[in-house]
Structure formats: structure tokens, C-alpha cells
Chain A
């Protein structure tokens, strides 16, 4: 084993770790491990003051490596690499050990076991640090060009923001026209403009900018490469274009929930319609609301159709925008037509934030709110050409109410769009609810685990237009801040090939998911060669190599074997 001076820090994480893992026992158990030069515990390793202390320790002790036993590397690898760099230590000589997600949190019911596991993990981390090598990252040029997929209002807004920040934009829309759902909407809530106007305004802004190229009837059909340098093919109704882009902003939007045949009588009775259909009806009617030749006076709205479903449905989530959208439509109806009675059969109104004012306005209009639970949903029946809605109303202590309605509006939610091809090409992570998943829900809501693939708008989760705009612009800001530098730093944790050992059997090239392994000549023989710009350091090639000619920097065989030895020791 290599002789090294290693600093080891065991973090309490406030109490997230130390409430379950006995930190003193961990320290006691690892203090005599080879190469441990300094051993400390810390309340929050990530706090700025702790980071400063580490920098001072590394410099004063001339440390070769550090081990931080705290949380998931997903959170803090950049933090402690930064500490190493500021202290003048190679950042790849830092090893993170996860004793929180893999220790205290996973075993909160077993303090002794959690402590024992933490000890082994820290020992393995020390073993890995003992074999760590200094690595240097390289830089490659990056194209400040972004492909925005989807030209609804969110996609157009991303494109405009990117163009104004200096990026080149390809705006790719699979429909004939830009504008998405919103281009078909009349009045929008919490604003004075209509959906038609908003979509038209944005399209005009898109067309004004020379650095946005809009493709309609277009689809992404091929993708190669990685952040900064993707080579893509875009197929339109006329041609297939090869394009070079640095990143993607995915803004593919949502589909409206389509009620199942017979769900609340949908498809059976003509006067049962969805909210989008009702909105069209309001917009297309002038002074009287007439449907099938009958003047509409009494409208029943049934909420949460396709959202917050029970065990039999897939959609467990709340669709967020629909309570406000339905109430807004009911206000529109009352404003536009005479003598309208609105009956809202809901499951608890969710007009959050300023949208509350619309709920208040509708209540003042005399709208009637009745609340039901999943256990007893409203029943729609037809008797003698008339439509009746029956419900057990929670707000009046479960009293059964039956009322006639001229129109039944199903307040349908958002569902994730079918995007199988795109998901496959870009490897976009999909969540349990089938919407796209961000890398971190709280602080990184527009980034994904795939570098250079950002998500915005309703493809990530249901949102209203304001929220869609914020997320679309945030995604634009994020990716522009990366690409505007003109270069991308490549992780040095790449596969390394020793050509002297390689006999070219081709197994590695077969395994590589990123087409990073090609043939070359060495010493008169055909051997493998790693294309570093394509290599993601996934390690798929190393175990299949029969001659051990490939090693993965940062995860070398020597490091992994050292870790296994440490873990197997007890």
C-alpha cells in the first residue's frame, strides 16, 4: 500500500448522522488505519467555517488526501473538491463516504448496526484514498447553441430568453404550428390577456430574433455526443438536417386527461364535457350560452377528474392548475351570460396563493360549493331527458344532495405526454408519476442527471402559465451560464487503456454505451483506443476486458480491491 498522509472528517450533519451513528465509536475504530494522519469530527462538514478549517489542515499537515464521511456524493462532491483545490491539493485525492443515506437514514431503527456499517464504510474510504491518484481534468470547446424541444408558450419563452442571452437556438416543434395548448385558450387567469394573444406575442418575438431558428412539423430523430457537443438530426416534413448543439431544453408540455368512456357519463351524454371543451364553448358563444339547442343556466363542475385517483388509477398527483382554471371559467361564464348558476363539486379547493381571490370572487357571485370524498363520488344520472348530479356533501355533514344540471363539466387534469422516443434518445429520467424528473426537487428543479439536458414547463410536473414561464426562463439561465464560457471541463474519471496489454477482442467496444471505443494501431497491432470526449467513465468496459488492459481513473482496480479488503476484513 502506498504511504500517504490522509485527513479523515466524520460529520454529525447536525443530528442527521450523530443521532443514530456513534461518531466517537467510528473515530475510535478507524484511528489506527494505515495512512490516517488526522482525524476529526465536525457538526456540519459543509459549513463554510468547517471548509476553512479543512483548507488549513490540508496545508498545515501537507495532507495527500482527505476522506469526508458525511452524506451522498450527489450533494457535496463539488463542495469538497473545491476545498481540496483551495488548499492546493489535487481534488481527486478527496474521497466522499456516505454514512447518512447509506448509514444513519437507512438504519435509523438500529443504532448499533448503523455505527458498525459507518465504520466499515469509512475504512473502505480510507483504503480508496490510500490508492487515489492525482488527476487532471481537460477542457473541450462547447457550442453555445441550444435545441429547445417544444414550441408551446414555455418553449418559445426559453428560446427568447436564450437568444437574448447570446445563445443560438433551434426551436423544434412537432406540430404544424407553434403555441401549444395555450394558443387555443381565451381569457387566462390572473391577467388580462388571452391565450391567443400570449402565444401570438411570443411567436412574434421568436420571429424577430435572427438567432432563433424555428422548425415546425419537426422531430429529433438522432442524438450523439455529450454536453457542449451534441450532434443531432432533426427531421422535418421536407428534409433531415444535421445540427450541432451544446445542450437541450425539453419543453414538451402535457396532455389533457381524457376521461375513460362512461367516467361520470362522459361519451354517453352529450352535455357531459371536459373543461377544455367547456372553455371552447364559452369562447365560441356570444350573448347566450347554448348547447344542443338548449340555453344553459345551471352548470355542475366535477373536480379532480383524472387527478388524485384512488388505488385503481395511475394518477396519484394533484394537477395543480385545475381548481383555479375551473373557477376562472365559472367566473367567465357568469360574466358573459345571464342567470348562470355554478355548482362546484370539489374535493377541497386548492386556489393557492393569489389565486385565492378568484375563489372569493366566485363565492361572492353566489357559486355553490359542495365537497365529496373519493369514497363517495358524485353520481350522474339521466331521467326523462334531464341530467342529475347526486352527492354526499362533506360541507353539510354528509347530507345527500341531488340537483339537476344543464351541463356537467369534468375538471380534467394534466397527464404526462407520450414521449418514448425522446426519452430513449436523451435518456431523460422519468418519475413515478411519469413526468420528467429533475436532479433535485428543491434547489435544482430544471436540471436532470444528464448533463446538458434540462427540463422546463409542464413536462416536469403540472404547472400554470406563470410557473411554466419561470421554469422555462430558469432553464435558459442555467444552461446559458454553462455554455457561455465556450468550454466544458471534462471529468478525468475516464477509462484508461494500456495498449501493451490490449489484444483487441472488441468486447469493450461492444459494451460501451457511448461509442467511445474505437480501433487504432499500436506497435503494428490493432488495439482499442478510448475517445475521451465521448467516455463518461461509466466503467462498463473494465470488467469485460480479459487482459485487464483497461482501468478506470478514480476507480482503479487497486482502489476497488483495497475497498473490498477493508469491507471484508471484519
Chain B
């Protein structure tokens, strides 16, 4: 068993669970559930498959409608999670199997992937990155720029520790020679960790829709068609270019279009529902772009504006007042001109006419999808899904955190698309439900 696990768990009594709760996923939902339970005195094992905790929120620029910097408000929560005496945190770790032995006893097999860097010894100095000869696409900048094969995921990662992307590593050893703290270890292997827990909180979040499947929008074919997550990175404090640039030629865009409902409310891609956040994050990006590029025209092509939450409608009206142009019309197709500009063809509902408009950058407001892989991990009980493959809430209005397995609870966007405050509240509800459940045996 891993050294990192000792100290915070109870191995003393045979047959007693090591932890009170296993929380799967350390995005904001998992963090919130883990923190609340840990504050109540429960021993929490929090696992995250990525090398850093913080989920999607830590990668965002600012948040709507407060325009708080996402990094600024999420880092306190991230470091509180990482430091809490009742939380044991394992990154690069996934649940491989969960077997229910009793209502308050689950046997869990975890698989922890090797970093090839000794986590406790790495100081995050990034010297290794300077000597690594391999350059690959940076997934945390959504492929806008490159990173090395040995890398720290992003500046505010937690833990801020390097890892080696072994598939792209040539084993040249340059990092090993350069590392001042001698923490590179190519002999690391995937570890298996067995634990027993009394309960499980599933906080596995959502997947972003990949617009490559919508051929008529040209994503992946036309360089100046990007996703909203790529724009989010261009606007973030830890942005790749320090300016808003379009990919084909590095020109500062002057006429930007947003295509709403990309991958949402669309039966042809198998996702008939509304993703609940795209209208507002696009509106936020429009406001940020008008600040960064005062001369640029921003057009937002929409079906309906879902500005429903606290302060949302006011925020939407503010974007309009700032000069954002909201056009009601579904985009039929995007085509590329020789200069890299894009022609959008759509029915303008206001006039009832089929219209074309030219833009030099197109942003696809991509939707949220269910991330149901976790259901396969439960071996002798079924974690049911709803028709859209979200985790099924078996008593939706009375106890929204309950699932089809007694002792397994669900939090955040694992249940449905939702924004940050709704996620925090859903995660709080999961913590309350879990705590009440665990108290039966105490």
C-alpha cells in the first residue's frame, strides 16, 4: 500500500472500513462534498483521475454573473481540500472496481497511474521542462499551444508537481540529469490500492461536447473555428498568448461570432437537452472580449437565451447594452474564405430571410454531456442512469442525492448540467445525505 495513505486512516481494527467516505472526482462538486464531510469529522478519501484537482472550474477565465476571476475564487477551496487533516487526496487515481459487501461497507480497488516523478520531492521548479526535447499539444490549454513531455499541468495546479507523459517521452534522460531534487523515477509502475469505505459520493462531473461531429460547423477543418473552452483559455489569467488571437494567422479578430447550442438541444448528436450554462458563459465571454478588444464586433447566434438564474437576466441585458449583438437564428452552415474568414449562413428570425454574414473568428458554444463511465466500476450492484446517461436520482424531489445503490450518493453535474452555485448546493446536499446515512452506524 502507498505511503501517502497512512496516517489519515484507521487500520487498527480488523474489518473496520478504512474511510468513512470515498469521494470520486475532485472538481468543485467533489471538493465541496469532501470538505463538508471532513469538517463534520468524517474521514474522507478523495480521488481524482487528473494530475491536478480543481476540475473544469480551475481552467476558466472569469465566472458569470459576478465576473470573479475563477482561479482567484477556486484556489482557496483547492488548497483547503488538499490540506484538510480529514481528507486523503490521491491524484491520477481511478476507481477500478467497487464491490458492495454491506450497506456500510464497500471494497474498493483503486489504480494510481505513475507520474514518473516522486510527488513529495518535486519542487515544481520546471527546470525539467526547459531541457525536454519533446513538444506536444497542451491539453490544459485545449491544444492552442504546446507543452513538453515532462510538464506541470498548469500554473495553479494542485499538487504543483511535474509528470511525464510517457507515451510522448523518448526516455532521453535530459530531465533526470537536470532535476535539482533528483525526483525523476522511470521505474514507477501503476499501483493498486485496496481500501474499504462505508459510503461513496460520485462527483464525476461532465464531458464537454466535441464539435468535430458537427461537420457543417467546420471545427477541425477551418482553423478559425474554435470552441468556447479554447476562448475561455485565451481569456484566462494564465492565457497562452497574452492576447486574443485567431489560430490561422495570429491576427487579432475584429468580427467574432458565437454559435449557441453547439451539441445541445440537438437530436442529431443525441443530446436533446439544454446545457444550462452556455448562454451565460458565452455572454460572459462577450463582455470580456468587449473589454479586451474594444473595437471588435461580437455577434451571438442563438435559439433562446437561457438567462434564468440570480442576476443572469440583468447580466444579459448588460452585455446587450455594452454592444453585443444577439441574433436569433440557427446557423445552417459555416464555410471558409481564402483569407481564413468564415461565412455563416442562417435564417434571421427577425426578418424571416436566409442571410449570410462574414466573421474572422467563430466560437462554438459547446454543451455538456453525461460522463457515465463510473457506472461500470460498480460490480455487484447497478448504479442506474437516466435516459440521458446521467446518474439517476431515485428520489428526485425529496432526496436528490440518493442513487439506485444504498450508500452511494451523487453530487453536481454527474446528475445533470448545472452551473457553479447549483453544483455547490447539490454537493452540499450530497454531504448532508451522506452524513445522515453514516450516523445510523455511529
- A residues contacting B by CB (< 8 A) are 13-16, 43-44, 46-49, 51, 71, 75-76, 78-79, 82, 157, 161, 164-166, 188, 190-191, 193, 198, 201-202, 308, 316-318, 320, 348-357, 360, 394-398, 433, 435, 440-446, 460-461, 465-467, 469-478, 480-482, 484-485
Using A14-B238, A442-B68 as known contacts, list a sample of 15 further A-B pairs with CB atoms less than 8 Å apart, ordered by residue number in A: A13-B72, A16-B72, A44-B72, A44-B155, A48-B79, A71-B72, A75-B72, A75-B76, A164-B435, A191-B396, A350-B306, A350-B307, A354-B388, A394-B328, A467-B425
- Note all chain A residues with C-beta closer than 8 A to B65: 441
- Note all chain B residues with C-beta closer than 8 A to A318: 307-309, 312-313
Whether the Cβ atoms of B274 and A356 lie closer than 8 Å is yes
- Note all chain A residues with C-beta closer than 8 A to B41: 484-485
Q: Which of A198, A440, A442 contacts B397 (CB 8 A)?
A: A198
Stretch at the interface among B132-140, B187-195, B357-365, B414-422: B414-422
- Note all chain B residues with C-beta closer than 8 A to A46: 72, 75-76, 79
- Note all chain B residues with C-beta closer than 8 A to A78: 76
Whether the Cβ atoms of A484 and B426 lie closer than 8 Å is no
CA distance A472 to B68 in the complex (A): 25
- Note all chain A residues with C-beta closer than 8 A to B416: 353-354
CA distance A385 to B279 in the complex (A): 43
Distance between B59 CB and nearest chain A CB, rounded to angstroms? 13
The 10 closest A-B pairs by CB, nearest first: A14-B237, A474-B428, A164-B436, A397-B352, A473-B429, A481-B39, A461-B310, A477-B432, A470-B425, A161-B432
- Given contacts A320-B308, A445-B421, are A470 and B155 in contact (CB under 8 A)? no
Distance between A166 CB and nearest chain B CB, rounded to angstroms? 6
- Note all chain B residues with C-beta closer than 8 A to A43: 155
CA distance A354 to B275 in the complex (A): 8
CA distance A16 to B238 in the complex (A): 11
- Note all chain B residues with C-beta closer than 8 A to A354: 273, 388, 416
CA distance A481 to B68 in the complex (A): 26
Whether the Cβ atoms of B421 and A441 lie closer than 8 Å is yes
Q: How many A-B residue pairs have CB under 8 A?
A: 222
- Note all chain B residues with C-beta closer than 8 A to A47: 75, 79, 155-156, 158, 160
- Note all chain B residues with C-beta closer than 8 A to A474: 424-429, 431-432
CA distance A466 to B416 in the complex (A): 12
Nearest A residue to B161, CB-CB: A49
Query: Can you report 30 residue pairs joining A to B where beta carbons are below 8 Å apart?
Result: A46-B75, A46-B76, A47-B156, A49-B124, A75-B73, A79-B76, A79-B79, A161-B429, A166-B439, A201-B398, A352-B276, A352-B306, A353-B417, A441-B311, A441-B421, A442-B68, A461-B310, A466-B397, A469-B397, A469-B399, A474-B424, A474-B425, A474-B426, A474-B429, A474-B432, A477-B428, A477-B435, A480-B40, A480-B435, A484-B40
- Note all chain A residues with C-beta closer than 8 A to B421: 441-443, 445
- Note all chain A residues with C-beta closer than 8 A to B308: 318, 320, 350, 352
In the assembled complex, B342 has its CB within 8 A of some CB on chain A: no
- Note all chain B residues with C-beta closer than 8 A to A16: 69, 72, 237
In the assembled complex, B314 has its CB within 8 A of some CB on chain A: yes
Interface size on B, residues (CB 8 A): 81
Whether the Cβ atoms of B71 and A44 lie closer than 8 Å is yes
Q: Which of A198, A397, A461 contacts B350 (CB 8 A)?
A: A397
Whether the Cβ atoms of B73 and A443 lie closer than 8 Å is yes
Distance between A253 CB and nearest chain B CB, rounded to angstroms? 16
Distance between B301 CB and nearest chain A CB, rounded to angstroms? 14
Q: Which of B40, B66, B82, B351 contacts A48 (CB 8 A)?
A: B82
In the assembled complex, B265 has its CB within 8 A of some CB on chain A: yes
Whether the Cβ atoms of B431 and A477 lie closer than 8 Å is yes
Q: Which of B40, B236, B305, B424 contacts A14 (CB 8 A)?
A: B236
- Note all chain A residues with C-beta closer than 8 A to B429: 161, 469-470, 472-474, 477
CA distance A339 to B310 in the complex (A): 38
Nearest B residue to A161, CB-CB: B432
- B residues contacting A by CB (< 8 A) are 28, 36, 39-41, 63, 65-66, 68-69, 71-79, 82-83, 124, 155-156, 158-160, 236-239, 242, 265, 272-276, 304-314, 317, 328, 349-352, 388, 396-401, 416-418, 420-422, 424-429, 431-433, 435-437, 439
CA distance A229 to B350 in the complex (A): 60
- Note all chain B residues with C-beta closer than 8 A to A440: 73
CA distance A166 to B436 in the complex (A): 8
Nearest A residue to B61, CB-CB: A14
- Given contacts A44-B75, A394-B349, A470-B425, are A317 and B272 in contact (CB under 8 A)? no
CA distance A461 to B159 in the complex (A): 36
- Note all chain A residues with C-beta closer than 8 A to B78: 48
Q: Which of A75, A317, A351 contacts B313 (CB 8 A)?
A: A317
Count chain B CB atoms within 10 A of each CB in A48, A188, A355 and give the residue with the most.
Answer: A48
- Given contacts A198-B397, A395-B349, are A470 and B422 in contact (CB under 8 A)? yes
Q: Which of A395, A398, A461 contacts B309 (CB 8 A)?
A: A461
Count chain A CB atoms within 10 A of each CB in B39, B79, B159, B439 and give the residue with the most.
Answer: B79
Whether the Cβ atoms of B428 and A473 lie closer than 8 Å is yes
CA distance A354 to B368 in the complex (A): 12
- Note all chain B residues with C-beta closer than 8 A to A164: 432, 435-437, 439
Whether the Cβ atoms of B73 and A48 lie closer than 8 Å is no
CA distance A444 to B36 in the complex (A): 12
Nearest A residue to B237, CB-CB: A14
Distance between A435 CB and nearest chain B CB, rounded to angstroms? 7
- Note all chain B residues with C-beta closer than 8 A to A471: 425, 428
CA distance A442 to B176 in the complex (A): 42
CA distance A394 to B349 in the complex (A): 7
Whether the Cβ atoms of A352 and B155 lie closer than 8 Å is no
Whether the Cβ atoms of B420 and A442 lie closer than 8 Å is yes
- Note all chain B residues with C-beta closer than 8 A to A48: 75, 78-79, 82-83, 158-160
- Note all chain B residues with C-beta closer than 8 A to A485: 41
Whether the Cβ atoms of B272 and A477 lie closer than 8 Å is no
Nearest B residue to A480, CB-CB: B40
Whether the Cβ atoms of A443 and B420 lie closer than 8 Å is yes
CA distance A402 to B428 in the complex (A): 49
- Note all chain A residues with C-beta closer than 8 A to B350: 394, 397-398
Whether the Cβ atoms of A193 and B273 lie closer than 8 Å is no
Count chain B CB atoms within 10 A of each CB in A157, A473, A485 and give the residue with the most.
Answer: A473
